């Protein structure tokens, strides 16, 4: 395997390892809640073991060394020789963070990483001394009592470049192998089979051969499994063997039991627990977002060509041909919709970080806080999720620091000792509402008011409403924390939160009840690039407006409209609302029909009507911003390709209303 190929595998390892670390972190946090859950413990152990094994394969020696020591602790836990303590979980969580560092800085080039590495290793070894020494003697005994001797297997594995394309995930294989027993992997430097990388795995297990074969079910052609004598393989043999390909061949040939594993039939009902786990982890794959963009481009081209075909196809007057074409266009549209969906990912991806934040911070502040989530499987655009992460972290940090009271205080006022932060997500139309709620003391209105008066934002005589008062919190440089902590800082933050939410075209509102708690509500569009819109036309020009801004579609007779021209308003629901003659403002040709279609727009609670020729219908629009550098009317802020290949201009309703009604 040349350096380039190894690099490719390495990158794959980094991606997979990051996912595994996420899983590990999640499981460690659950393990804190239920330290006796053996199933979880097994899973944690397996994840560590897999990281250890595969990091060794790809030469991440520090990760390997690190996880090896960590794994020892979990081995003891697994054998029931020690119990899962807060200290262990602290170290393990820090370790997952550190392994993430090591994935980037594999050779510990960064000084701070070096120090961290040393400090963590020390921490881990200190753990060992206090909790583990005594029981470790027992462990020797207990293995002796064990009558069934584990046997050692030699597995010779060849992987080619295509292996990942065939849907085989090496990480999963090793994760599964870890369920059977402990193993060591060696990479064979020399090429035994052209274009293949060969690996030598020594597995010590109680499992039968069939079980091992099962693990390698999907790469059966390239694996040889041989039973060695039951003596455990020592490091020396291992080194001797693995450094010389000829000895490997000899070594394998000398075994009596040499036999190529024939590909076993796949029994669908033969699912083992281990396999189920590995399956679930392959449910999602990591895709470069540029590839998605390219796919999106291809799909829109396909849709355009399809509509061209339909237009030109009419000339052929061939019914059958046209039937095929219609089916083709249905498919193309379905295709387009599913590609749009690809960009959406669930909020639950973020929740883990919040859980970790709450855990770490509450410990630091001596508070007890539970974290609950509701509806976090709701999906948002990847970019939106990325943009939401920081502001939400900040809000939660505020809830922990300022919201939730200390346990003593909570007890004294009759609340349960543990506070609770709830993250709940509700979908409404193309918006997603995210509520972050704490059951703390609520925002002290007097404190905020006094501070605002002090800062000259309010006059002492002002009687602000809750909404007005809480909006002050989002002003730059406003902080009510009595003593500044290193947790939620000095009032830089809430203004940034508001700004970042604004960047996502979202809104944020605070509600708070004295002594009961505070709720932050974020209203976020589901996607920055995809919106539901109403498509209409004036003089054959296509336009769209966000469907959420549309109150109603109506019609009015042209003569009525002409009568009302001087007042500039039309009646709607017992009131007069202004109307905008877009045809006139945009210098478009033609005349309105006798029955003029009107679209009533609602822009921040201001109603306005526009006159159009044709209302074409709803359009699920992928919108693209139009550069602000071009000197065009600011009401056109984006464009969208229509299903028929034409382009519609999107009208920004808020700019439109302010532009033409003043």
Partner 1 sequence: MNATYLSFHIGNEIYAVKTDNVLEVLQHQTITPIPNSPEYIKGIVNFRGEGIIVFDTHKQFNLETPLDYKKAFIIIMDLHVDNEVIKAGAAVDKVENVLTIDTSEIQPVPPIQKQLNIEFIDGVVNYNNDFLLLLNMERVFTHDQAEYLKEQNNNS
SS3 state at 651: strand
Residues 6 or more apart whose CB falls under 8 angstroms from that of 13 comprise 54, 55, 57, 58, 60, 171
Q: How far is the CB of 286 from partner 1 (least distance, A)?
A: 22
Tokens of 250: 């000899």
> Would you state the torsion angle of the CA atoms of residues 145, 146, 149, 153, taken in this order, to the nearest 10 degrees?
-120
Q: How far is the CB of 641 from partner 1 (least distance, A)?
A: 6
Of 55 and 639, CB closest to partner 1: 639
SS3 state at 637: strand
Query: What phi and psi, each to the nearest 5 degrees, are found at residue 621?
Result: -100, 135
Of 147 and 629, CB closest to partner 1: 629
Q: How far is the CB of 586 from partner 1 (least distance, A)?
A: 4
Q: How far is the CB of 625 from partner 1 (least distance, A)?
A: 8
Q: Which residue has the tokens 């870890």?
A: 178
Of 586 and 607, CB closest to partner 1: 586
Q: If you ran DSSP here, which 8-state letter would residue 262 be given?
A: P
Q: How far is the CB of 543 from partner 1 (least distance, A)?
A: 9
Of 69 and 295, CB closest to partner 1: 295
Residues 6 or more apart whose CB falls under 8 angstroms from that of 511 comprise 466, 470, 518, 519, 521
Q: Which of 604, 611, 613, 618 lies closest to 655, judged by CA?
A: 604
Can you tell me the distance from the alpha carbon of 149 to that of 356, in angstroms, rounded to the nearest whole number?
41
Angle at 274 between CA 270 and CA 277, to 5 degrees: 110
Interhelix angle 3-33/348-364, rounded to 10 degrees, is 60
Q: How far is the CB of 304 from partner 1 (least distance, A)?
A: 7
Q: Which residue has the tokens 């877009």?
A: 582
Under 8 Å between Cβ of 365 and 481: no
Of 465 and 627, CB closest to partner 1: 627
Tell me how crowded residue 254 is: count the other CB atoms within 10 A of its CB. 10
Q: How far is the CB of 596 from partner 1 (least distance, A)?
A: 18
Q: How far is the CB of 273 from partner 1 (least distance, A)?
A: 45
Of 46 and 343, CB closest to partner 1: 343
Of 226 and 640, CB closest to partner 1: 640
Tokens of 51: 């990281």
Q: Is 569 left (phi over 0), alpha (psi -120 to 50) or beta?
A: beta
Q: Where do contacts with partner 1 occur on this chain (CB under 8 A)?
A: 293, 296-297, 300, 304, 541-542, 585-588, 622, 624, 626-627, 629-633, 636, 638-641, 645-649
Q: How far is CA 478 from CA 401, 402, 448, 492, 506, in A?
A: 16, 14, 9, 7, 21
Of 126 and 338, CB closest to partner 1: 338
Q: How far is the CB of 578 from partner 1 (least distance, A)?
A: 20
Of 339 and 524, CB closest to partner 1: 339
């Amino acid at each position: 395997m040349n350096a380039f190929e190894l690099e490719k595998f390495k990158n794959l390892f980094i991606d997979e390892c990051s996912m595994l670390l996420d899983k590990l972190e999640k499981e460690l946090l659950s393990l804190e809640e239920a330290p006796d859950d053996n199933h979880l413990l097994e899973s944690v152990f397996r994840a560590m073991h897999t990281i250890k094994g595969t990091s060794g394969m790809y030469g991440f020696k520090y990760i390997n060394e690190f996880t090896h020591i960590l794994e020892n602790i979990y081995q003891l836990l697994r054998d029931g020789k020690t119990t899962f303590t807060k200290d262990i979980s602290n170290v393990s969580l820090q370790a997952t963070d550190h392994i993430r560092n090591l994935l980037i800085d594999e050779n510990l080039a960064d000084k701070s990483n070096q120090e961290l590495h040393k400090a963590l290793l020390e921490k881990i070894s200190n753990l060992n001394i206090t909790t583990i020494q005594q029981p470790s003697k027992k462990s020797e005994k207990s293995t002796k009592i064990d009558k069934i001797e584990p046997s050692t297997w030699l597995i010779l594995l060849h992987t080619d470049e295509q292996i990942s394309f065939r849907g085989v995930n090496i990480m999963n294989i090793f994760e599964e192998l870890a369920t059977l027993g402990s193993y060591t992997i060696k990479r064979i430097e020399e090429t035994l089979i052209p274009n293949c990388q060969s690996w030598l795995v020594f597995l010590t297990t109680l499992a039968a051969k069939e079980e091992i074969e099962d693990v390698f079910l999907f790469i059966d052609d390239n694996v040889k499994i041989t039973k060695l004598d039951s003596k455990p393989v020592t490091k020396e043999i291992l080194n001797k063997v693995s450094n010389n390909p000829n000895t490997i061949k000899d070594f394998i040939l000398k075994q009596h039991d040499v036999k190529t594993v024939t590909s076993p039939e796949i029994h669908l009902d033969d699912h083992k627990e281990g396999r189920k786990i590995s399956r679930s982890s392959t449910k999602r794959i990591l895709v470069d977002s540029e590839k998605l963009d390219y796919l999106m481009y291809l799909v829109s081209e396909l849709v355009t060509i399809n509509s061209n075909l339909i237009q030109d196809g009419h000339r052929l007057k061939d019914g059958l041909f046209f039937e095929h074409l219609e089916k083709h266009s249905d498919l193309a549209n379905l295709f387009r919709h599913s590609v749009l969906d690809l960009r959406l990912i669930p909020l639950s991806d973020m929740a883990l970080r919040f859980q970790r934040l709450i855990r770490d911070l509450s410990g630091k502040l001596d508070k007890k806080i539970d974290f609950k989530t509701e509806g976090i499987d709701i999906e948002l655009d990847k970019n939106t999720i990325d943009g939401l992460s920081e502001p939400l972290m900040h809000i939660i940090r505020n809830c922990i620091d300022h919201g939730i009271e200390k346990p003593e205080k909570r007890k004294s006022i009759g609340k349960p000792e543990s506070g609770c932060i709830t993250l709940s997500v509700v979908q409404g139309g193309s918006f997603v509402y995210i509520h972050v709620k704490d059951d703390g003391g609520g925002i002290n209105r007097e404190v905020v008011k006094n501070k605002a008066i002090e800062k000259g934002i309010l006059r002492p005589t002002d009687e602000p409403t809750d909404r007005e008062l809480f909006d002050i919190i989002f002003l730059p440089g406003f902080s009510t924390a009595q003593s500044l902590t290193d947790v939620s800082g000095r009032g830089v933050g809430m203004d940034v939160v508001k700004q970042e939410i604004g960047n996502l075209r979202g809104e944020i509102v605070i509600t708070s009840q004295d002594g009961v708690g505070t709720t932050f509500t974020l209203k976020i569009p589901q996607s920055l690039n995809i919106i539901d819109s109403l498509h209409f036309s004036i003089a054959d020009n296509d336009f769209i407006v966000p469907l959420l801004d549309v109150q109603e579609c109506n019609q009015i007779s042209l003569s009525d409209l002409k009568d009302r021209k001087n007042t500039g308003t039309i009646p709607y629901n017992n009131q007069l609302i202004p109307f905008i003659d877009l045809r006139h403002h945009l210098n478009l040709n033609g005349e309105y029909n006798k029955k003029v279609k009107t679209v009533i727009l609602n822009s921040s609670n201001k109603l306005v009507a526009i006159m159009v020729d044709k209302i074409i219908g709803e359009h699920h629009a992928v919108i693209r911003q139009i550069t602000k550098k071009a000197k065009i009317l600011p009401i056109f802020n984006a464009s969208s390709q229509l299903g028929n290949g034409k382009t519609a201009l999107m009208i920004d309703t808020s700019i439109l209303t302010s532009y033409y009604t003043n």
